[in-house]
Amino acid sequence: MSATSPLDDQTILVTGGTGSFGKAFIRKALSEHNPRKIIVFSRDELKQWEMRQSDPIFDHSNIRYFLGDVRDKERLMRAFRGVDLVVHAAALKQVPAAEYNPTEFIKTNIHGAMNIIDAAIDRGVKRVIALSTDKAANPINLYGATKLCSDKLFVSGNAYVGESGHPRFAVVRYGNVLGSRGSIIPRWRTMIANGETNLTVTDERMTRFWISIDQAVEFVVSNFSRMRGGEVFVPKIPSMNIMDLAKAIGPDANITVTGIRPGEKLHELMIGEDDARHSIEYDTHYVIAAETELGSDMASYETMRDLGGKALEPGFSYASDTNSEWLNVEQLQALIEDLGL
């Protein structure tokens, strides 16, 4: 266990705690750190029961399972009593579903974010990290737009904490998670296992950022230590081409191109040129600093630069198609095998 862990002796609440990220975060917290208590906050009793039965670690004496919805502020107020740290991982995130059900995504991803912020301030939570997505940068779909709103809300939430100086709110933005629920990899693997000889891709030019679930969890944990309030943290991660991924999973499969779906981008973006003007580069990550006026000891462009960050070149953007780091077919195959996907 880490002696300097930001999770040690803390009561941690994870919204969306039964999801891919939530389970991975909780597993790591209990196996490598020493939290006082972890609260799994989610709205599906069956998923909570299945999670508890799936592994002895999820029946740990320090876990509490709390049914609730981020849309319900009163329930959040109850759940946040005595909580030190919050990881906000709950979201509706399927792009096609968002295009057809926009109001539901707004209620969960935007109104839910507002409720998290209000409850955290009213209950005196110390730190909150909200998970974002590359689709929130220059969004073209409803899901990305709701997550951009959420990001803005969490950054601006730091301006309302008052004299107490807490909570501090920050955002972590990353790309597609290898093997997460709804990922293309498990679907393709199942098709190949069932004898399918044809895989469908929407466009052979498509590129995406990729990160493993363990890397995503570690990035969130590390940012609890480094956050000052108001940052959007972006990890430096590799890109991959969709055709290389298809070849890694089904080397002998035929590829059918079906065309880009509504709301889908050809390439993803994590830092656009406009955000880059107030972003700072570090060895392992970037920080998009808040443009709004926050507390004097919170994150700002000047503060981040003074802490050893490097200003980005004019016209810089961090996009999946112009990334300097790539995963080829062999690396993707090794990564998929290592992760047991």
The domains found in the chain, sorted by start residue, are 11-176+211-236+270-313 (3.40.50.720)
Arithmetic mean of pLDDT, 262-271: 92
Does residue 80 have a pLDDT over 90?
Answer: yes
Whether residue 323 contacts residue 251, with contact meaning beta carbons closer than 8 Å, is answered with no
From 109-113, 229-233, 295-299, the region with the lowest mean pLDDT: 295-299
Arithmetic mean of pLDDT, 20-34: 96
Does residue 146 have a pLDDT over 50?
Answer: yes
Q: Which two tokens stand for residue 222?
A: 């590390």
Q: Which of 47, 93, 135, 147 is catalytic?
A: 135
- Crossing angle of the two packed helices 20-32 and 213-226, in degrees rounded to 10: 60
Residues 6+ apart with CB under 8 A from 183: 176, 177
CA 119/CA 60 separation, integer angstroms: 26
- Helix H or strand E segment including 157: helix 142-157
More confident residue, 161 or 116: 116
3-state helix, strand, coil in the chain (%, to 5): 40, 20, 40
Query: What pLDDT was estimated at residue 44?
Result: 96
How does pLDDT run across 162-209, given as a tens digit for each residue? 888 899 999 999 988 886 766 788 888 888 888 888 898 999 999 999
Whether residue 178 contacts residue 137, with contact meaning beta carbons closer than 8 Å, is answered with no
Query: What pLDDT was estimated at residue 291?
Result: 84
Query: What pLDDT was estimated at residue 182?
Result: 64
Quickly list DSSP for 229-269. Answer: SS-EEEE---EEEHHHHHHHH-TT-EEEE--PPTT--SS-E
Query: What pLDDT was estimated at residue 280?
Result: 95
268, burial (CB in 10 Å: exposed 0-12, middle 13-18, buried 19+): buried
From 199-203, 267-271, 300-304, the region with the lowest mean pLDDT: 300-304
Q: Is 28 a catalytic residue?
A: no
Query: What pLDDT was estimated at residue 3?
Result: 55
Whether residue 173 contacts residue 133, with contact meaning beta carbons closer than 8 Å, is answered with yes
